[in-house]
Amino acid sequence: MTQTNNTEQAEKEKQELIRRYRTLLRTANKNNLSKSDRDKISKAFNIAVNAHKDVRRKSGEPYIFHPLAVAQIVAEDIGLGATSIACALMHDVVEDTEVSLDFIKQNFDEQTARIIDGLTKISNLVDQHGSIQAENFKKMLLTLNDDIRVILIKLADRLHNMRTLDSMSSNTQLKIASETQYIFAPLAHRLGLYNIKTELEDLALRYLHPLEYRNLADKLAATKTQRSRYINQFISPLEKKLEPSGIKFEIKGRAKSISSIYTKMEKNSMQFEDLYDIFAIRIILDSPIESEKNDCWLVYGAITEIYTPVPNRFKDWISNPKENGYESIHNTFIGPNGRYVEVQIRSVRMDEIAEKGYAAHWKYKEGSELPAEKQKQNIKDSSIDEWLRKVRDGLEGSKGTALEFLEDFRLNLYTEEIFVFTPKGDLKKLPLGATALDYAFEIHTDVGSKCLGAKVNGKMLPLSHKLKSGDRVEIITSQTQRPNEDWLRFVVTSKARQRIREALREEKKVVVDIGKEILQKKFASAEIPFNAQKLDELVNYYRLHSPLDLYYDIAIGKIVKEKIDLKKIQDDIIKRKSDNKTNEDSKVKIHQDYKRTKVNNKDTIILGEDLELDYTFAKCCTPIPGDNVFGFVTIGEGIKIHRTDCPNATSLFSQYGYRVMKARWASDEKKKDFLASISVSGIDSVGLVSSITNVISKELKVNMQSISFESKEGVFEGKINLYITDVSHLEGLMDKLKTVTGLDNVRRVNA
């Protein structure tokens, strides 16, 4: 019987594999594949099927379904060609099977082998817990220098992994979702892959904030019929207005994504019911390229004759496209019943670039039938190529730590853009929040390094002045000016930050030799050997990171040389070691493959598989029983317990996944009091504070640590720190507070 069932299951899986492969071919054929292209995809499919034979994913399905799904995303959602589809099908074969890179090169070509090699290197960077750390993110992004298709296929791979994340452990889900939110979604955004970016954000939210995600999904589902009715009501007069114009158009209505709604609610401390612009309408014009801009403006004018525009929400990305090639007109209009609706106007060409980003951008470049080298010459000034050039310059010029590099890179992935002008009228694009100093470094490194100030619209202003779109900027320089540490506080572009850090490092090298010479004389005078061990002890004594930092601080006088008493320092170090010996002997060294251990004392939190270790609760998120939590091994402060929705959780999981531990509340934990914080807001009225405190102290018998209120122009905001026993206790208290007349918002906040 079992044999029969296995045979039936195998036949079902075979039929499903054939069905999915045929779907992939139909999608790929939309790009008019040649016979050699179809042969390449077929060969890659057969190699992948044989290589992954009898291998299954954690979900239980055949492993070959995964590369097939990645190839489908590459073909359908990104719109790449036969080479990319073949590489997606084989993206795991060199890493996970006996297939070699030489075999790929012999059966395909150098280009295919190079892309597979890039994908394999990225796979090698993932540790056993699925967390790519900062150093490895940097290596991954370096593939932008070789072939951007490596990153595009990797994004498709990440999207399918996120779609199938249910089969993984909760800790792995949090790590992968954090990485996705931290770097992959912003990268998809910057490459113009808005559909993929949105889905990655929504899926990350589903695992990082599951309760909030389900709540918003339910509310959107409950209001779907009402929303559809309203969108049709908004669209109907537009269609009647546009039909006589002769412009071919399509109008689509949709709700904004769950992640964008959640972000807006968090940013503005709003409830779902208070959001006024969850509707979005997209008008797509089937216009020839020579008239598409004019048609977009004609349609915009027609809308303003029906609905009132909201002036401060207007965005013109047709006259000045985004760096990733995005073109569209955006504005918010006041629709029927006074509701706000965002309207986007674009052509079919613009829409395809908006949906498929980089790949569609290349499809529409002039001279697409020309040889590759000629194409590059014709399109070298296009916006997305300019952004890629900046990225490559930044990658090649980066000499700092991986964390510095990653943070600098991320700074410029999600930001909005402003447009400023040189004295000659040339346009420069900068991220929102860019300063005069960022602009100076954008002009040239030497200009930035010697920048004294700037004339903005003819007025002399400091380096830290934030620029606005339309500003005309002239930089004032001096040969005696040098970068200083203070500059890092207000620059926002990765180029400026990198160049400033490089200049500071060069300056530091000049003085460290002086500090080293001073220290060597101190060692000689104290008759103590000047070796690596003693030097490391001294670095730790002053709580510095490296000997270079020690030499530098001595040279600039931060560590006063006259106060360096090496013999006394040695005595202090010996005493510290003696005092800490007992503690060190009792510490449990935590490895990624730590063994199952049990200690006798009972505690509130159980770490790992059954570990009861010393820990403290993180002050950034103040966990309480009932919260989903994790442990994080710090340097010098032991294990910290964080909530999984802690504001720092994403960066901790993404950059230091190997230091994250599973944690859970002990089931036999006795009721204790935990500190939690809530914020309240509403219409100010006499006796309101008394009503709030009565509910907390008298009705619910909850102790408060502190309470603060501020009233301004009839509206008040307050924060209350109080002691509760667990999440259900806190939620019950918040529900009770929501019944107080005058309160319109009660929510938990971080301490």
Active site residues: 95-96
Rg of the Cα atoms in the chain: 30
Phi, psi for 32 (deg, rounded to 5): 55, 60
In terms of residues, how long is the chain?
Answer: 751
**Residue whose tokens read 């209009």:** 333
Q: Phi and psi dihedrals of 663, rounded to 5?
A: -145, 150
Name the 3-class secondary structure at 575. Answer: helix
Burial class for 131, CB neighbours closer than 10 Å (0-12, 13-18, 19+)? buried
Rounded (10°) CA dihedral 579, 582, 586, 592? 40
- Enumerate the H helices of 559-670 as residue ranges: 566-586, 649-655
Cα gap 576→554, rounded to integer Å: 23
Q: How many helices (H) and strands (E) does the chain have?
A: 30, 19
Place of tokens 């207000």: 490
Rounded to whole angstroms, the Cα distance separating 698 from 700 reads 6
- Spatial neighbors of 736 by CB under 8 A, at least 6 apart, are 695, 699, 700
Q: What is the DSSP string of 44-99?
A: HHHHHHHHTTT-B-TTSSBTTHHHHHHHHHIIIII---HHHHHHHHTTTHHHHSS-
Q: Is the dihedral of CA 17, 18, 23, 26 positive or negative?
A: positive
CB 313 within 8 A of CB 333: no
CA-nearest of 386, 373, 368 to 81 is 368
Asked if 437 and 448 touch (Cβ cutoff 8 Å), the reply is yes
Asked if 78 and 27 count as a contact pair (C-beta separation under 8 A), the reply is: no
Widest CA span in the chain: 96
Nearest residue to 502 (alpha-carbon basis) of 573, 576, 416, 404: 404
Give the torsion through C-alpha atoms of 151, 153, 156, 158, to 10 deg.
Answer: -60
Q: How many angstroms from the chain centroid is the CA of residue 39? A: 38
The closest alpha carbon to 392, from 378, 409, 416, 411, belongs to 409
